Amino acid sequence: MDPYITEWLNLAVRWVHMITGVAWIGASFYFVWLENNLNRENPKEGLSGDLWAIHGGGIYHLEKYKLAPPKMPETLHWFKWEAYFTWITGVALLTIVFYSNADIYLVKPGSGIEPMTAVAIGVGSLIAGWFVYDFLCDSALGKKPMLLGIVLFVFLVFASWALSLVFSGRGAYIHVGAIIGTIMVGNVFRIIMPAQRGLVKAIEEGTEPDPELPAKGLLRSRHNNYLTLPVLFIMISNHFPSTYGNEYNWAILAGLSVISVLVRHYFNTRHGSQKYAWTIPTAALGLVCLAFVSAPQSNAPSAASSHSHDAVAPSGNEGATMFVSVKGIILERCTVCHSQSPTHPAFATAPAGVILDTPEQMQLEVSRIVAQTVTTNIMPLGNLTQMTQEERALIGKWAEGGAQIQ
């Protein structure tokens, strides 16, 4: 497809994805907040609690029924389309960005995996993720929410490790996000909505609603609540090459997920007690530790120090001489895509706005170039232009020496 059209399609779908995602997560946060803030002292007959709130210049009074009101209201608002549309647009985006250019975005460079095989693994992982999750929830573990949570976490970490063997860092991350997103929407579609329909049906028929269904719905809805923060990180992880570009990207993701679940837990419980206040400083400390342990060893790339005799930054003249080689490397390995007019068929304009046609542009972008090609091996994307370790090392050395161009 014409890359210009793909870009606008990407824009439109991504925009809708964000809007519906915000609506979905907003509703999820709001209802968990409602549940946690209900005033449960001396509730009226048939209620489990009520709550007063002020917002947008008006005062609201909400009441929650123990199970159901004696008579159904005329209008009952449901929350499902934001979930469904988030998933549908998410899968569309996955297809537009990752599957239609699987050789560039999805396949792990050097893994030798065919693009179509990678797409099949990706789609399979979404389906398998849901079935494994649903099976675990319905197993005996379902009665032990804490243990279930730990097993689910281990399962997701395993999935992300396995995906990192075949997918690029970004490809692996986005699939973990998509697996979690599929689980979340599956919970809405297969568990929460049927439970709610059962409840409404019972009320309309005047029978006693089965308390099992809402209980199951509540557990799944809690899972969704805890899963939102890791998913949100994954959706913006694209901006953080030090995470997905790291050799142990799956472990970094696991660490960030633990941190986010700790934070979520505090916000879910703080109204009842401050018992979990420790999770906030712990999460902050965890973030610092994670940044520390995953830091690049040194900016001087290992290939360089083992090959060359001097690890010392070059002096002025040497830097300029070095640039002659660096320029050649960048023009050969990067400008098929990163040019005013890219020749790679997948791009109509320079990706991420990074243009590397002239020495001045190369100098201007030096820190980003280092982040993408020296500290990590993210660029060239899919290593399509087959950049070597020695070339990466040379760019690193040139940058260290002040990125001189003359």
Binding of residue 331 to ligand HEC (CB under 6 A) = no
Closest CA to 244 of 114, 60, 372, 385: 372
Closest CA to 224 of 65, 62, 86, 47: 86
For residues 157 and 174, which CB has a smaller minimum distance to ligand HEC in the complex? 174
Integer Cα distance of 88 and 105 in angstroms: 20
Contact predicate 27/82, CB 8 Å = yes
Q: How many CB atoms lie within 10 A of CB 124?
A: 10
Binding of residue 352 to ligand HEC (CB under 6 A) = yes
Integer Cα distance of 358 and 373 in angstroms: 18
For residues 264 and 392, which CB has a smaller minimum distance to ligand HEC in the complex? 392
Among 96, 290, 379, 394, binds ligand HEC (CB under 6 A): 379
Binding of residue 372 to ligand HEC (CB under 6 A) = yes
Contact predicate 28/225, CB 8 Å = yes
Among 344, 376, 377, 398, binds ligand HEC (CB under 6 A): 344
Contact predicate 108/165, CB 8 Å = yes
Binding of residue 172 to ligand HEC (CB under 6 A) = no
Binding of residue 201 to ligand HEC (CB under 6 A) = no
Binding of residue 337 to ligand HEC (CB under 6 A) = yes
- What is the pattern of x (binds ligand HEC, CB under 6 A) and - over residues 288-327? ----------------------------------------
Half-sphere exposure at residue 340, Cβ-oriented, CA atoms within 13 angstroms: 3
Binding of residue 269 to ligand HEC (CB under 6 A) = no
Residue nearest to ligand HEC (CB): 334
Six token digits for residue 283: 């999460």
Binding of residue 92 to ligand HEC (CB under 6 A) = no
Integer Cα distance of 119 and 108 in angstroms: 12
Binding of residue 104 to ligand HEC (CB under 6 A) = yes
For residues 274 and 388, which CB has a smaller minimum distance to ligand HEC in the complex? 388
Integer Cα distance of 120 and 102 in angstroms: 11
For residues 122 and 214, which CB has a smaller minimum distance to ligand HEC in the complex? 122
How many residues comprise the chain? 406
Residues that bind ligand HEC (CB under 6 A): 104, 238, 330, 333-334, 336-338, 344, 351-352, 354, 365, 368-369, 372-373, 379-381, 384-385, 387
